[in-house]
Every structure is written in C-alpha cells, then in structure tokens.
Structure 1
Amino acid sequence: MSKRLFDLILSSLGLLVLAPVLLLIALAVKLDSPGPVFFRQERVGRFGRPFRIHKFRTMRHDPVGQGPQITVGADRRITRVGAVLRQTKLDELAQLIDVWQGTMSLVGPRPEVPRYVAQYPAELRDKVLSVRPGITDIASIEYRDESAVLARAQDPEHAYVHEVLPHKLALAASYVDQASLWLDIKLIVRTIAAIVR
C-alpha cells in the first residue's frame, strides 16, 4: 500500500469516526472566546510549497498576527479551552483535513513557518522538504512539552533556533532516510501512547 493511500484511508476514517468529537471541540472553542474555530497559518510543505495548516484555535484571536510564532510556557494568549486542547493534543486533530487534502501526511517532519525554514542548513533543507509534512513524527514525541522546555530558557527564540530546531531537523532527516509504512504505524502507536500517558 502506498503512503498516500494509507493517509487517505486513515484520514477519511478518522474524520468520519471522530466527527462528533470534532464538532464538540469546535463548539467549545467558539463558546470559550470570540474568533474562528480554526487557526490557519502559512507553513512550508513538500518541495517548499506553502500551505495553510488547520488547527483548532487555542489562543485569543489575533487577526493582525503580531504575537511571537513560538509558544512559551503558560502563554497569556492561550484560552481556557485552548489549554486543555494543547495538553491533550486535540487541537492537532484538525490536521486530518490537511492529510485528506494531500498537503500533509499522518507521519512526517512537522511543518514549520517560512521564517524558520529559511534557517535550515542547505544540506538538510531539500531532504526534509522532500516528503509531506506530518501530524506527528519522532520530534513531536520527544518534544511533546516543547513550550515548557522553552520557558526555562533565558532567550526562548534563541534556544528554539539554535538548540531545539537543529535537533528536530536531525530527527526529521533520520525519518526520511528510514521512511516506511511500518515505521509510520509504529510512530502513530507511540504518539497515541504518549498522549494517553
């Protein structure tokens, strides 16, 4: 079975089976604070093509988008419902739409915003962007509490760019080298187990 067919089947099943949960999340987001249900942001996809990612909104609506692009610790912009969604990773379920549309995969390097992709080393950029970005990957599991890690840094932005991002890229490159359907299944299981724990 091809990776794309695997993604299409599971994302379709996920959207159908989880439809009641997705509707409840959407309602909770809407009732909790003014603004749209989804947070849409430009990310860099396969072969460097930009796309707009779906996430359930977890922060106060900021139409101008002037806030920082990384979340650090107990960010004041996070709403009450948003805090729960982030802790349980339920905000990421909206990306099943992106997988179904074909801009993302269930498993693959997490898509970054253009400003951080511009800082990828040339030797890693083409490799990491040669596959569709994913909802989960090895780095997502290892950095599940990334905002808490950055909150302990004196300069969170510097720590992200010079410490966290290089490690994430190394893990992403490793995934590309080893990519297989069986590896994807194992990472999906590990992700679910990490969320349950």
Structure 2
Amino acid sequence: MTALYAVAKPGRDPGEGGRVLPPLPVATSIGKRLFDILVASGALLVFLPLLLMLALLIRLDAPGPALFRQRRTGLGGQVFTVYKLRTMTVVEDSGEVRQATKNDARVTQIGAVLRKLSLDELPQLFNVLIGDMSIVGPRPHALAHDQFYGERIPTYDERFRARPGLTGFAQISGFRGEVRELKQMADRVAADNAYIDRWSLGLDLIIAFKTLPLMLRDPNAY
C-alpha cells in the first residue's frame, strides 16, 4: 500500500521537526487488536450464511458484482481496499465520488434495505481481520472525499492516527449520513479526533454497545 498524504506516521510529530513521540495507544494496543480479531472472527462465523444469501439477492436484483471494492485511507495515511456489499447500480472509485443522498436514484431496492440496516458493511469484518480496520474507529471515506475535506479542515488528517472503524464515536453522536455543509464534516472530524485522544478499551465497548440499536433505527442511514 502507498501513502496518500505526507502525514505523520504514528509516533512522529511533524510540528516538532519530526521529533519521535510515544506511539498512540489507540494504534498500538494489543488488547484492542485482540478485541478486533475476536469480534470480527466470531461475527463472520455467525453472519456467513447471511452474507452468502445477500450476495445472491444483490446479483438477482441488479446487474453487477455482489461485492464492492473501494480505496480508502487508513492508519498513517496508508491506502487500503475496503469491502462492502454493493448497494448501488454504479461502482465508483475515482477522483469524483458522489456521496449517497436521501432517495438516491443510484441505490437499488435491496441496497436501500442493506444501507438502512448497515448490512452492506458486513464484509468489512474481513478488513478488520487482516488489520486494515478496527471494530471501532473513525469511519473511512473515499479518497476523493479525503482530498477534498483534507484541504478545507485543518485537523482532518489527524483522523489517520487510528485505524478506521466499522463504527465510531462520530456515528453514535449523530454525525452520519449526507454532508450538506462543511461544518457537518468538521463536527464529524472533531468527534473522531476526540475519540483518538481519549481512547480506552472501555470506550470501545461503550461505542460498540451504543451502535447496536442504531442499526435498526438510525434516521441518518440511507
């Protein structure tokens, strides 16, 4: 994988002439990594039959692959490939990726259900297992969005001090869905960075627990 940005790797402070700093606990904790592996492997065992059924329904619903791959930015600005169930009639991974909006015509019939229940995110459990992602962390955005918001929000790149997550503090705080103005993304980034700065395993457990009811009734999921 190659770095998208010239951001500091965990353990370096560009504002101090590259002075070596202690690695961030959120990125180096063995306990967090074990938690990720246990939860991801257990969830995959439970949801594998559902994943296979959904993949079949996606293929029957609209032409195209069942699995959607897109490049995202991870820990230290490293680019990785994220896996999702396809929910749209298009598969975008270019310099211009249009964010999903309410009543988006690109979303398929089954895709609308998958997005509402966040079931399209299930393949990202594989990303967690191989270490590209974590169960809890800043949600990864498309590279085009990283470039756009990184140029406009000074603290945006600080999100890359942690592995991206399936869910995060921003999501349980209501910062999810369509971004209509810059402040909405700035608030999301602030929540992500607050999580990184205050991280603990207990906080991960709280966020994961609070995510469960949102899978069934989040008005910002579409």
Asked whether the two chains share a fold, i.e. TM above 0.5, the reply is yes
TM-score, length basis structure 2? 0.77
Residue 183 of structure 1: aligned partner: 203
**Does 2:57 align with 1:33?**
no
TM-score, length basis structure 1? 0.86
Counterparts of 1:46 and 1:29, CA distance in 2: 31
Residue 110 of structure 1: aligned partner: 139
Counterparts of 2:93 and 2:46, CA distance in 1: 35
Residue 101 of structure 1: aligned partner: 130
In structure 2, the CA distance between the partners of 1:165 and 1:11, relative to structure 1 (3 Å rule), is: same
**CA-based RMSD:** 1.9
> Which secondary structure does the structure 1 equivalent of 2:138 belong to?
coil
Query: Greater shift after overlay, 113-122 or 53-62?
Result: 113-122
In structure 2, the CA distance between the partners of 1:24 and 1:49, relative to structure 1 (3 Å rule), is: same
**Does 2:39 align with 1:19?**
no
Residue type at the aligned position of 1:129: F
Counterparts of 2:192 and 2:213, CA distance in 1: 20
The CA deviation at 1:67 is: 6.9
The structure in which a higher percent of residues are helix is: 1
Residue 164 of structure 1: aligned partner: 184
Larger radius of gyration, structure 1 or 2?
A: 2
Q: How many residues align?
A: 184
Q: Identity over aligned residues, as a percent? A: 38
Residue 162 of structure 2: aligned partner: 131
User: Within 5 Å, which residues of 2 pair with 1:75-86?
Assistant: 75-86=104-115
**Does 2:176 align with 1:140?**
no
Structure 2: stretches of 5+ with no match in the other structure: 1-29, 218-222
The CA deviation at 1:39 is: 1.1
Q: Deviations over 1:113-136 (max 9, x none)?
A: 2233233344452x3111100010
